[in-house]
Structure 1
Amino acid sequence: MPTRTTVSTCTAVTDQGKHVFEIFDYSQHRGMGHEMLITSGTFYVGGHDWAIRFYPNGFEWNCRDCISVYLELLGEGAVVSASCDLRLVDQTTGSSSSLHNTPLREFSSDDDSRFAPETGMFMNRSKLESSDYLRDDHLTIQCIVTVKKAPLVSATAFLNRIEAPPSNITEQLGKLLDAEEGTEVTFSVGGETFAAHKMVLAMRSPVFRAELYGPMSEATAQRVTIQDMQPAVFRALLHFLYTDSLPGRDRHGGDADRDLIWHLLEAADGYAVGRLSLLCQSILSENLDVETVATTLALACQHNCDPLKDVCLDFISSSHVMNEVVATQGFKNLKTTCPALLLDVFQKTMRFHSA
């Protein structure tokens, strides 16, 4: 008689939160004296209260040439396993850099272990004041806290001896596209030719469905010419339609990569491929910078990408980069192509500064 096998699983569970502590009028706080501090508002992560402690002139005498920044576990009798990442934000680009990373350890609110890091020398003050972390007398501290919670243990179940393999339909469709077997239509794009299957395109895009099966002229054509699109963009569009993913690429690529995503966002709108549009918006939102945010904002407006539009407006208004953005060619173009957006930028900036 075969042995009956049962199984249960254990999965680690964490809760992560990020708190942003904005410090305005930095120079006025600088003369507070040693051991004088500013405490952030309380924030809640992993079932516990936390705060950031900022000492403009250092926590102790031996830290007098530094600023001191600590994460503190609040409350009474709290014992927490957690890690933290303390960062400063570049006021020019909006990106942040890690200055101290505390690995997973035990925090106890009843002793000095409630603080992290264990040193008051967070950053040399002269170095800070000559850096882009401090602009317009404004400093931004970010703290990412990750709390380790009790593991999740599943209920006991009988072991399934016959395991089904994971789905590979997108891999198979990708091979079908590469092999060009059974294709019924070819597209001429910028001097290059692409073969495809009408049914796949029609299933994925209502625009292709109308063109290839509707009363339009392309419905009976075996060769379709597409104007105003680069071959690389159409190739990426086809890859997504067949595989529901973009070709292998670095989500934090360079200017050429961003240019491709800009054009792919336009293609997604033109062919009504909603998920591709949101994927492009997500990638662009993660790679905003001063030089390109205005161009991305104009594109978001032109193609009704409200989520991306909101992220761009937040970047411009909350990162204190307005002067740098206004000086870019992209912003000058924005004034011509989408003048109504300037009002949105102004209103968003006013709301941020009045908050």
Structure 2
Amino acid sequence: MSRSRPAMSPSRSASAIVADKTEGYHFLTIHDYSRTKGIPTGEGIGSQPFTVGGHRWCIYYYPNGDRSEAADYVSFSLELEEEDGATAVKAQFRFCFAGEEEEAKQAALLALASADEFTSRGRWVCTKFINRKVLENSKHLKNNSFMVRCDILVIHRYRSTDNAVAYVSVPPCDSSQDFGELLETEKGADVVFEVGDETVAAHRCVLVARSPVFAAELFGPMKEGNVAAAGVVRLEDMEMEVFKALLRYAYTSSLSLQGMANDHITCRKILVAADRYGMGRLKLICEEWICECINVDTVVTILALAEQHHCEGPKQACFDFLADPAKLRAVMVTSGFQHLWESCPSLMMELMDMCLPH
């Protein structure tokens, strides 16, 4: 009696079409928003050029819309600025307000955005980014300023590739979210910080891993003088809002200034705290943000801060700002400039040397 052969499983194979791409983003801060409202509809103000995917881009801000039907809205546009007029670039882009929640949504929405073809000096516009009345009553407008983020994904080419059959789908790492929840719930916390009249609990092992100063205070030679028997650390010369931002960065490696009063001032205080605790990357994040906040009213304060805490980026940004004779003249008549001249003459000599013709 013959036996029937078992059925053979069909062969399996797979391939995929993928895009070689480069992603990046640019933050643009609008200072003195109310003063920009006098700019006529259709007139835009350009950002400093920046590079994503090997191409040069510029953002334009239209406080009264880029066209008459959007006169009640704030508009933004993205322009490809290439020397070669024949350049054509395929890219996806989206604008959002700067902030953890908005930026998280941005990533998902960018993946769904259609790819547009940009040609040199060609402009793609987000015509109705936000109604001006809505903006003026929103959390995004603080101290007459707001910040937007433009995400750009440049598609270089499409190609086919082998694609092994996926039996398991591994989600992206969510450790920053887990650690953030650990900070919020205070589960397993073993140290308490007193800041002013408030307290906040944290985990020694996390802080020690993130800061050499915390390591010395909580486990090193400095421990006995700083940590009481009950595991309480008293912090002087620190605001709770600033310390909480420092803690959140230690747990999540992210910094958000959304919802903070006087966020440009708070950012400078966070920079000082980051320098105090040896958290170099957080300090650089603050330096990058502060460079966007330089104007006639803030340049002296930022320059003094940069000199005191060895921030070469903001210092150079201040010097570049003051290289404009009209801006320098406007700053020189302020009391802050006179005080800086008296308190830090070597810095002023460096500035004058830069401004004088050689």
Question: Same fold per TM (> 0.5)?
Answer: yes
CA-atom RMSD in angstroms:
3.6
- Map 1:114-153 to 2 at 5 A: 150-153=156-159
Q: Report the Cα distance in structure 1 between the residues aligned to 2:290 and 2:340, rounded to whole angstroms.
A: 17
Shift of 1:186: 0.6
Match of residue 80 from structure 1: 87
SS at match of 1:151: strand
SS at match of 1:321: helix
Q: Deviations over 1:79-115 (max 9, x none)?
A: 43269xxxxxxxxxxxxxxxxxxx95657xxxxxxx9
Match of residue 230 from structure 1: 239
Question: 1:229–1:220: structure 2 CA closer, same or farther, 3 Å change rule?
Answer: closer
Question: 1:337–1:159: structure 2 CA closer, same or farther, 3 Å change rule?
Answer: farther
Whether contact under 8 Å (2:242, 2:269) holds in the other structure is yes
Gaps of 5+ in 2: 1-8, 26-51, 56-80, 91-115, 124-151
Q: Report the Cα distance in structure 2 between the residues aligned to 1:239 and 1:9, rounded to whole angstroms.
A: 36
Identity, % of aligned positions? 35
Match of residue 177 from structure 1: 183
Shift of 1:13: 6.4
Match of residue 262 from structure 2: 256
Shift of 1:249: 2.1
Q: 2:297 aligns with which of 291, 315, 332?
A: 291
- Map 1:207-246 to 2 at 5 A: 207-216=213-222, 217-219=225-227, 221=229, 222-246=231-255
Deviates more, 1:169-178 or 1:327-336: 327-336
Deviates more, 1:337-346 or 1:317-326: 317-326
Question: 1:211–1:105: structure 2 CA closer, same or farther, 3 Å change rule?
Answer: closer
Shift of 1:327: 2.4
Match of residue 310 from structure 1: 316
Q: Report the Cα distance in structure 1 between the residues aligned to 2:23 and 2:196, rounded to whole angstroms.
A: 50
Question: 1:106–1:183: structure 2 CA closer, same or farther, 3 Å change rule?
Answer: closer
Name the aligned partner's letter for residue 178 of structure 1: E
Shift of 1:314: 1.4
User: Are residue 190 (structure 1) and residue 196 (structure 2) matched?
Assistant: yes
User: Are residue 337 (structure 1) and residue 346 (structure 2) matched?
Assistant: no
Shift of 1:240: 0.7
Whether contact under 8 Å (1:239, 1:247) holds in the other structure is no
- Map 1:100-115 to 2 at 5 A: 104=117
Q: Report the Cα distance in structure 1 between the residues aligned to 2:179 and 2:314, rounded to whole angstroms.
A: 30
SS at match of 1:9: strand
Shift of 1:233: 0.6
Q: How many residues align?
A: 244
SS at match of 1:8: strand
Match of residue 69 from structure 2: none
Q: Report the Cα distance in structure 2 between the residues aligned to 1:168 and 1:288, rounded to whole angstroms.
A: 35
Whether contact under 8 Å (2:190, 2:204) holds in the other structure is yes
Q: Report the Cα distance in structure 1 between the residues aligned to 2:23 and 2:203, rounded to whole angstroms.
A: 45
Shift of 1:247: 3.4
Whether contact under 8 Å (2:323, 2:355) holds in the other structure is yes
Question: 1:343–1:297: structure 2 CA closer, same or farther, 3 Å change rule?
Answer: same
Shift of 1:332: 2.7
Question: 1:305–1:245: structure 2 CA closer, same or farther, 3 Å change rule?
Answer: same
Name the aligned partner's letter for residue 229 of structure 1: M
Whether contact under 8 Å (1:185, 1:196) holds in the other structure is yes
Name the aligned partner's letter for residue 285 of structure 1: C
Name the aligned partner's letter for residue 231 of structure 1: M
Match of residue 301 from structure 1: 307
Q: Report the Cα distance in structure 1 between the residues aligned to 2:23 and 2:198, rounded to whole angstroms.
A: 49
Q: Report the Cα distance in structure 2 between the residues aligned to 1:116 and 1:172, rounded to whole angstroms.
A: 43
Match of residue 210 from structure 2: 204
Q: Report the Cα distance in structure 2 between the residues aligned to 1:276 and 1:295, rounded to whole angstroms.
A: 20
Match of residue 99 from structure 1: none
Q: Deviations over 1:248-301 (max 9, x none)?
A: 628xx9x70011001001001110100010000000012211110110010011
Taking structure 1 as the reference length, what is the TM-score of the superposition?
0.60
Question: 1:5–1:310: structure 2 CA closer, same or farther, 3 Å change rule?
Answer: same
